[in-house]
Amino acid sequence: MENCLDFEKLMEMEGRYRANLINKITGYKTANLIGTRSGSGLENLAVFNSVVHIGANPPYLGFILRPTSVERHTYENIQETGYYTINQITARIHGQAHMTSAKFQREISEFESCGLKPYYVKGFEAPFVADSAIKIGLSFEEEHRIKCNDTRLIIGKVIHLILPEGAVGADGDLDLESLDTVAIGGLDTYYKGTKLGRYAFARPGEDLRKLS
Amino acid sequence: MENCLDFEKLMEMEGRYRANLINKITGYKTANLIGTRSGSGLENLAVFNSVVHIGANPPYLGFILRPTSVERHTYENIQETGYYTINQITARIHGQAHMTSAKFQREISEFESCGLKPYYVKGFEAPFVADSAIKIGLSFEEEHRIKCNDTRLIIGKVIHLILPEGAVGADGDLDLESLDTVAIGGLDTYYKGTKLGRYAFARPGEDLRKLS
């Protein structure tokens, strides 16, 4: 049996209950830490579950920014410097990553408070997370103000990509399992992945072909 | 040891290799089927790995639409009718879900070709996927044209949410593992999840508290 909830029933729910539910209905989400530095040099690090692929040629990524105080530091720093990093959360650091969601004051570095080491690339001013397996350096490209609830889509161009040696397969593939990558459910739950299968490009009238 | 690739190195890569790589660097992504129907009644179903949470009060979801022929049918149908569905892919149907990425002609229904049963709710014209564990009915809200590569962010309001009876926990939580939900890596790899932990709201100076 299934339950069907309409808009009125969803809006009658208690706020925290609805937030837990609606944040989980999209399924497993990307799990990343966004690193920035203010114009005056203050480091910031925050967990995001909304990083999304925008394009590969050239490479662009996006993320959704809500109007909360934690995420506002990230936004202000990107506005001030034009640069930021996206760092894949691994199982080993997922506890520290979740801690960055606490409302630290702006002069406090989440790197230090949460036990994560910053890592810098010469000539690029935003801090990466040293212990992240996939580190991405971006330059701000464009933003869109979402009218319905005053959130923003922020888009950046990938100008640095740091990966463990040997991580990239012959056809550009990455093995997310062996990189110890995690997914996020809702706002609070972290998951490891187990591969069901990788499949060839699908074509009408042909059977699905499993690659690995 | 790590490899550091800069923008020039990324742009020198062969196109398919770069697409495989860049599509995987965000980590595990949401795995959903978007169901639509044209003004003349033709059903369409397509796999998307870019569904993103926009807000919970009221509930809004977004997704990124590339300018390909498969996704164009989804876009045209949303423009024609104003309604669409987002359906969570489960392990049981992940092969059929991947098949919907084949370039079927517009008059062909992916429901029929890929062996997925449509499901209708009275008064709502877009088709849901009967075998999906989380079925979401949306009304189109707004769109943003992304300037850097001509993709679009499409945002809809959740007006129907269909879940198995008993799926919602006391605080609005959903157990994605028991719902058989999957994640997508890149464009072609499907994963099951295993929970590492669910954590309480983080506060500065307090230890991380595991809820389950």
Q: What is the pLDDT of residues B171-182, one digit of tens each?
A: 999 999 999 999
Q: What is the pLDDT of residue A106?
A: 86
Mean per-residue pLDDT, B101-113:
92
How do residues B127-142 score in pLDDT, each as one tens digit?
999 999 999 999 999 9
Q: What is the pLDDT of residue B67?
A: 79
Q: How sure is the predictor about B72, in pLDDT bands with cuts at 50, 70 and 90?
A: confident
Query: Does the CB of B101 have a partner CB in chain A at under 8 Å?
Result: yes
**Strand pairing of B2-6 and A151-164?**
antiparallel
Q: Does B71 have pLDDT greater than 90?
A: no
Is the Cβ pair A181, B28 closer than 8 Å? Answer: yes
Is the Cβ pair B32, A27 closer than 8 Å? Answer: yes
- Provide the 8-state DSSP code for A90: B
Mean per-residue pLDDT, B156-168:
97
Q: What is the pLDDT of residue A78?
A: 97
Which own/partner pairs from A40-43 qualify as long-range (CB within 8 Å, at least 24 positions apart)? A42/A77, A42/A106, A42/A107, A42/A109, A43/A109, A43/A110, A43/A111, A43/A118, A43/A127
Q: What is the pLDDT of residue A53?
A: 98
Q: What is the pLDDT of residue B106?
A: 86
CB proximity list for A111: less than 8 A, separation 6 or greater: A35, A43, A45, A117, A118, A127, A129
Identify each DSSP E strand in chain B by its residue range: 2-6, 29-30, 32-37, 43-48, 52-56, 59-65, 83-88, 118-121, 124-129, 135-146, 151-164, 182-185, 189-198
Q: How far is B71 from chain A (nearest CA, A)?
A: 14
Q: Tokens 């093995």: give the residue.
A: A175
Query: Does the CB of A122 have a partner CB in chain B at under 8 Å?
Result: no
Q: What is the pLDDT of residue B2?
A: 93
Q: In the beta sheet, which residues pair with residue A168?
A: A174
Q: In the beta sheet, which residues pair with residue B145?
A: B152
How do residues A56-115 score in pLDDT, each as one tens digit?
999 999 999 997 767 789 999 999 999 999 999 999 999 999 999 999 988 899 999 999
Residue of B11, B142, B191 to mutate when probing chain A, most A C-beta within 10 A: B191
Mean per-residue pLDDT, A163-169:
96
Domains present along chain B, CATH in parentheses: 26-192 (2.30.110.10)
C-alpha A186/C-alpha A189 separation (Å) is 6
How do residues A170-204 score in pLDDT, each as one tens digit?
999 999 999 999 999 999 999 999 999 999 999 99
Q: How sure is the predictor about B184, in pLDDT bands with cuts at 50, 70 and 90?
A: very high
* ipTM rounded to 2 decimals: 0.97
Residue of A11, A18, A26, A194 to mutate when probing chain B, most B C-beta within 10 A: A26
Q: What is the pLDDT of residue A91?
A: 98
